[in-house]
Amino acid sequence: MNDESNPDTGRRPLAKATAERFASEFQDVDHTSATRVFYAPGRVNLIGDHTDYNGGLVFPCAVSSGIALAIAPRSDGKYRFKSANFDYSLEIESLEQLIPIAREWVNYPMGVISELKQLQDAKQSWQASGFDCFFSGDLPDGAGVSSSAAIEVVTAFAINAFAELNLSALELVKLCQRAENNFVGVPCGIMDQFAVTMAKAEQAIAIDCNTLRHEHVPLKLAGACFILANTNQKRDMAEAGYNDRVRECQRAIELLQPRYKIKSLAELEPDALASARDLFPDDDIAFKRTAHVVTENQRVKLAMAALQSNDMKAFGQLMIGSHHSLRDLYEVSSEPLEHLVKAALDNPATLGTRLTGAGFGGCTVSLVETGDVAAWIASVGAAYEASSARQADFFVFKAASGVSEINLDEMAI
Ligand code: GLA
CA of 28 to the centre of ligand 1 (A): 40
What is 11-48+58-209+401-412's CATH topology?
Ribosomal Protein S5; domain 2 (3.30.230)
Ligand 1 close to Cβ of residue 191 (< 6 A): yes
Q: Name the residue at shortest CA distance from atom 9 of ligand 1.
A: 189
Ligand 1 close to Cβ of residue 192 (< 6 A): yes
**What are residue 224's DSSP bridge partners?**
369
SS (H, E, C) the chain: CCCCCCCCCCHHHHHHHHHHHHHHHCCCCCCCCCCEEEEEEEEEECCCCCCHHHCCEECEEEEEEEEEEEEEECCCCCEEEEECCCCCCEEECCHHHCCCCCCCCCHHHHHHHHHHHHHCCCCCHHHHHCEEEEEEECCCCCCCCCHHHHHHHHHHHHHHHHCCCCCCHHHHHHHHHHHHHHHHCCCCCCHHHHHHHHCCCCEEEEEECCCCCEEEEECCCCCEEEEEEECCCCCCCHHHHHHHHHHHHHHHHHHHCCCCCCCCHHHCCHHHHHHHHHHCCCCHHHHHHHHHHHHHHHHHHHHHHHHHCCCHHHHHHHHHHHHHHHHHCCCCCCHHHHHHHHHHHCCCCEEEEEEECCCCCCEEEEEEECCCHHHHHHHHHHHHHHHHCCCCEEEEECCECCCEEECCCCCCC
For domain 224-396, which architecture applies?
2-Layer Sandwich (3.30)
Ligand 1 close to Cβ of residue 256 (< 6 A): no
What is the pLDDT, as a whole number, of residue 3?
47
CA of 23 to the centre of ligand 1 (A): 35
Task: Using 70 as the pLDDT threshold, list the residues of the chain that sit under it.
Answer: 1-4, 121-123, 236-237, 411-413
Ligand 1 close to Cβ of residue 188 (< 6 A): yes
What is the pLDDT, as a whole number, of residue 284?
96
Catalytic pick among 49, 52, 192, 208: 192
CA of 52 to the centre of ligand 1 (A): 7
Ligand 1 close to Cβ of residue 53 (< 6 A): yes
The reported pTM is: 0.95
Ligand 1 close to Cβ of residue 44 (< 6 A): no
pLDDT tens per residue, range 118-154? 887 655 778 878 999 999 999 987 888 999 999 999 9
CA of 143 to the centre of ligand 1 (A): 12
Positions of CATH 3.30.70.890 in the chain: 224-396
Q: Which atom of ligand 1 is nearest to the CA of 144?
A: 7
What is the pLDDT, as a whole number, of residue 237?
61
Q: Which amino acid is at 350?
A: T
Q: Which atom of ligand 1 is nearest to the CA of 53?
A: 10
Q: Which atom of ligand 1 is nearest to the CA of 188?
A: 9
CA of 73 to the centre of ligand 1 (A): 33
Q: Name the residue at shortest CA distance from atom 8 of ligand 1.
A: 188
Quote the CA–CA distance of 398 and 203 in Å, as a whole number. Answer: 9
CA of 161 to the centre of ligand 1 (A): 27
Positions of CATH 3.30.230.10 in the chain: 11-48+58-209+401-412
pLDDT tens per residue, range 78-87? 999 999 999 9
Active site residue 192: yes
What is the pLDDT, as a whole number, of residue 413?
47
